[in-house]
Amino acid sequence: MKVFNLELFDSHYYIKHSTIVEQIQFNNRTFYAKFERINEPLTPLLLKQHFDKQYTIAVPLLQNNHTNYLVIDYKGEEHQRFYHLVQHLFKTLDITRYHIYQGKTEERLRVFIEVDTLKLEEADEKLQKISDALKQKMVKKWKCLPSISLPEAYNIVTLPYAEI
């Protein structure tokens, strides 16, 4: 499935509900999921409804414990500073294949870094290095996905709303 410039896994998708739909036990922790897994490909109608903010749709980042994207999900009032910091950092790290998108609100940015298929552990390690570099310049108000510390149902990303 292609959304903007992203080629995403489309074997299933997740739809957000206002209440908890599932309790997930993972590494001696309990997660409360508001996203329900739908075992069907995403349709153009659902995609349009997501863009119209009728539904919130998310897609998996992992398939067979591998990913094609590293995602940094920023939520904070310094979104413009974060945007420019990411661009500068990626230039110094020689990361050229990335896309920055608008989330549901102006304060939410999603950075998708294209990678050749990586195992979850390798992806987590690379994201940790990027996150550590960002933390040297600003207060951490982002999360990195996929993560080995989260269950599969949490290694999902909400589809972006607009290109930046």
* 68 CB neighbour count, 10 Å cutoff: 19
Per-run averaged pLDDT (10 residues), the chain, 164 residues? 87 96 96 97 94 96 96 96 96 96 94 97 97 96 97 95 92
Which helix (H) or strand (E) is 137 found in, with range? none
Q: Indicate the burial class of 160 (C-beta count within 10 angstroms; 0-12, 13-18, 19 or more).
A: buried
Give the per-residue pLDDT at 2: 84
- The parent domain of residue 20 ranges over 2-163
For residue 14, how many other CB atoms are within 10 A of its CB?
Answer: 22
- What is d(CA 46, CA 40) in angstroms, rounded to the nearest whole number? 12
Residue 86's Cα: distance from chain center in Å? Answer: 15
Closest CA to 70 of 27, 108, 115, 12: 115
Residue with token string 């009032």: 77
Q: What is the CATH number of the domain that holds 139?
A: 3.90.920.20
Contact 6, 69 (CB under 8 A): yes
SS3 label, residue 72: strand
Predicted local confidence at residue 159, as pLDDT: 95
Please give the tally of structural domains in the chain: 1
- State both tokens at 11: 């074997």
Instruction: Give the whole-angstrom CA distance, residue 33 versus residue 17.
Output: 9
The C-alpha atoms of residue 158 and residue 60 are separated, in whole angstroms, by 9
What pLDDT was estimated at residue 105? 92
